Structure 1
Amino acid sequence: MKKAYFLFISVVLTLLMQSCLHEKNTTFDLPAAERVDQSVADYTTLLESSEGGWMLHYYAGRNYSYGGYTLLLKFKNGHVTAMGDVLDPEEKATSEYEVVKDQGPMLSFNVYNKVIHPLAAPWLGNPEGIQGDYEFAILRATTDSIVLRGRKWKNEMVLTRLPKDTNWDEYMMGIITVKDGMSVSTYNFIQGNDTLAQGSIDPDTRRITVTLGQTKWDMPYCTNATGIVLRQPITIGGKQYQNLTWNETERALTEGELKVAQYTPSNHKKIDFWVGEWQLKTSLRKRITLTLERATAPNTLKGYLLYDKVSYELQLTYDPINGRIELPGQPVIDPTYKYPAGIVMVPASQKDSKLFGEGKGSMYFTWNEDMSRADAEDSGQISGYTVDSFLGVAYGEDLSPLLNPKGGYVYAFTLPNIEYIKKLK
């Protein structure tokens, strides 16, 4: 009898164990998938619940190595409308979006948007562009904020709910005003009455760089309607600073006791300073002049290079942040009509006996107050080499470089080892 009883109990326990295992699979496997489906629906509802939209502080580059951008996003009926300080801050673009299942819920801008996707687009010669994302894992959320992580480059960023009455056009105009005011990249960092250091806030790279005590801060920032927001707080004397407000009157950013005040270094010159006739110093023993005048496009100059009594027209760019000018490689019209397809002024390295292609490399001219001249320096665009020269390569009817009897290029002019330009008038 006991044996029969124990046999009965054993069978019952076995059946109960199988039932429990089956119930465990039902509880933890199927509901897990259902929970992901539910989170996708919940995040979609949350995104579309903000009548004023959301602000995204967007950071590009592996390990936040590029700059920060401010995007305004509004989600409705499977579409997103976007504005941002990416290309044209006044442009508004609408496209489709989805919250999809991946390893968890993911926000995907799966159709091209003229505001969002340029941040993830490749450039000519740079297939990774600025290393931006258009798909984002959703890590966590509250009613007013959603934490995202870029799918490819892994940068974390936060969507913040905007007030219902936010006027996007006014907000973007505020960003434009702040950017226009921050037209010089050099700043004094002042806490109370003490000037701690000099650093840079560069609106081109959208990065702040300063060494305070033993700590070097180099990070991206985003611009908002009243100032800038650092990706992470900087700590000075035990106090943290992250949200800096722009004061147009003082030309400074402030937060609490910290003032980051603009100053103009002596080598910063306005564009009109560069207008006039300059002597171009190279390693050649000949007189070469460069006459500059304002061009029609903003921050551009037209140059006339006088070389062996022939005047070649060039284009230069003015850098308003650093107050210097840039001379790039470029095609040049042949005023002598000697070369059927014209001339290409190609950057070169005399030191390394290297000739670079058009569109690769350039030189800056920066004012040297002590020497009363503008010193030439490589812009650093070509890794591992220094551009120190320009060569005017002549082209023939077949659109190929002309060759001399020895097989070398034919040059309309050569500018080897450029040192500086000195003003004549």
Structure 2
Amino acid sequence: MKKYIFLSLSFLLFISCNYKEEETFTQRASERTVNSLNSYKEILENDNYWLLTYYPEQYKVGYWVYPYQPEIFATDKDFPKAHRSIGGYNFLIKLKDGKVAASSEVSYTNTEETSFFSYDITEGPTLSFDTFNNVLHHFRFVSSSFPNARGGETDFIILKYENDTFTLRGRTSNNIMTLKKFTGNRETFLNKIRENSKALLYKGLLPINVGGTEVILKLFPSYRQLTFIYNNNQKYIQSAFIITEKGIKLYEPIKINGVTFEEFYFNDTKTALVSADGSITSNFVTSPITLSSNAAYITFDTYNASEKAMNIFNKAKKAVENSKDKSYTLLNYIRLVTFMGNDQEQAAGIHGYIAEKNNLDNTSSIYYEMDFVGMANSSNEKQLEILIKDMPTIGDNTYKNSLFYYREAERLFLDLAKAGPYKTSVYNDNYTYLISVKDPDIWFLVYIP
């Protein structure tokens, strides 16, 4: 009996030895990470520029949903949101001896700004721009308009390096970005990106056919979003994109009916976007109204606006006059003009004006950047959409922090956008009607000098 027990125990010990795995690595994980970081440092600090494709994180309701497609969803609580909802941007950086020189398309000039950077080990090898830099921290600025900034990153975890490109992950946002070796002329590149960005302004897109399915394309030019809507408006994919030297590149590939979209190029005349393989083309639809530094105006009175348009204005005016100390009113005009934007040298803006009831000359303005976007339609009418940037949602922190009368005034902007899209009708050389496609009884004149 003892003999059998001895044999059984020996057999178990043999089995146990077979199940023991040899160590895969000769170094501990922390040592491997340090070694990776050291090798990355040698590559990064080799006197050349790196192109950083940068995606700040903003999670917002799809711009195409509200007010343009509300019929798809039962309530506004069902409206889908999208990550990276203010698009992607190009930065050029040079790293050496703890200093980074940075320039970007979001700056008004190509001037580089220098600050310090560091290497760290967090969830992996990490590149950290941890001292203030006007360029690199563009989306980290906190202001009255952006009390929570706009989703900028300072720490980038290095995931891998291959084909002269580092793949990065924003430590806060988890957005995937790239740092690619740059070999061209820095200023020429930035100027080209700005030129291509301007080429998209005021542009909408015609629908495309993908494998027998009509796909509606919704473009938000200045916040760099492209949405694909198909299957009778029941399917939709919104993607951020970045401007390239050839056109635009989506944050990640999109597949519809077996066709993959990742990049679109401008055609030779910059009148269309063409898929990378050249098989699909979408022509631009230009807004019938474009703005300049010479301001255009919308006036709310019986001569320049319909009764329903006046009702929209009066609702906002009443709300301003009833807010808090009841000493302010909303003036009856809106100013449309270009000015220096948050992310580009020239942006379109919509301005409203608040005044003291007892002193109408004492005014303050509320304004937002916006896009007029050409609207494709089956009637071949000249139509446009109004897309307002950074409009706060009722209840969020930006809205709560607004001056009380501004909260009500900005509702006027949103209600006008909700009434869109608009078809245009030229009255004379200086006046153009904007008539709601949804409700033709909502109309107003735009004075264009």
Taking structure 1 as the reference length, the TM-score comes to 0.62
Q: Is the 1:36–1:104 Cα contact (8 Å) retained in structure 2? A: yes
Name the structure 2 match of 1:110: 130
CA–CA separation in structure 1 for the residues paired with 2:124 and 2:156: 10
Residue 269 of structure 1 deviates from its aligned partner by 1.6
Name the structure 1 match of 2:155: 135
Name the structure 2 match of 1:401: none
Q: What do residues 45-100 of structure 1 show as CA deviations (whole Å, max 9, x unaligned)?
A: 12113x43221211122543331111112212221122222242523222111111
Name the structure 1 match of 2:280: 258
Change (3 A) 1:152 1:271: closer
Residue 419 of structure 1 deviates from its aligned partner by 5.8
Q: Which of 306, 326, 342 does residue 350 from structure 2 map onto?
A: 326
Higher RCO (CA-CA < 8 Å; seq separation 6+): 2
Identity %: 22
Change (3 A) 1:32 1:275: closer
Name the structure 1 match of 2:95: 75
Q: What do residues 158-179 of structure 1 show as CA deviations (whole Å, max 9, x unaligned)?
A: 212223xx10111111111211
Q: Who wins on radius of gyration, i.e. which is larger? A: 1
Amino acid at match of 2:280: L
Change (3 A) 1:276 1:56: closer
Structure 1 residue 170 corresponds to structure 2 residue 188? yes
Change (3 A) 1:89 1:222: farther
Aligned length: 315
Change (3 A) 1:71 1:179: same
Residue 340 of structure 1 deviates from its aligned partner by 9.5
CA–CA separation in structure 2 for the residues paired with 1:151 and 1:90: 27
Name the structure 2 match of 1:358: 406
Name the structure 2 match of 1:207: 225
CA–CA separation in structure 1 for the residues paired with 2:210 and 2:168: 37
Name the structure 2 match of 1:184: 202
CA–CA separation in structure 1 for the residues paired with 2:447 and 2:229: 39
Residue 191 of structure 1 deviates from its aligned partner by 5.2
Residue 315 of structure 1 deviates from its aligned partner by 6.6
Name the structure 1 match of 2:31: 34
More helix by share: 2
Name the structure 2 match of 1:58: 54
Change (3 A) 1:258 1:42: same
Task: Look up the SS of the partner of 1:211 in the other structure.
Answer: strand
Q: Equivalent residues in 2 for 1:188-267 (5 A)?
A: 188-190=206-208, 196-213=214-231, 215-254=235-274, 255-256=276-277, 257-264=279-286
CA–CA separation in structure 2 for the residues paired with 1:41 and 1:198: 48
CA–CA separation in structure 1 for the residues paired with 2:360 and 2:210: 66
Structure 1 residue 98 corresponds to structure 2 residue 110? no
Change (3 A) 1:111 1:32: same
Name the structure 2 match of 1:5: none
Q: Is the 1:250–1:261 Cα contact (8 Å) retained in structure 2? A: no
CA–CA separation in structure 2 for the residues paired with 1:422 and 1:314: 11
Residue 424 of structure 1 deviates from its aligned partner by 9.0
CA–CA separation in structure 2 for the residues paired with 1:194 and 1:124: 48
Task: Look up the SS of the partner of 2:196 in the other structure.
Answer: helix
Residue 115 of structure 1 deviates from its aligned partner by 1.2
Residue 193 of structure 1 deviates from its aligned partner by 11
Q: Is the 1:188–1:195 Cα contact (8 Å) retained in structure 2? A: no
Taking structure 2 as the reference length, the TM-score comes to 0.59
CA–CA separation in structure 2 for the residues paired with 1:327 and 1:423: 14
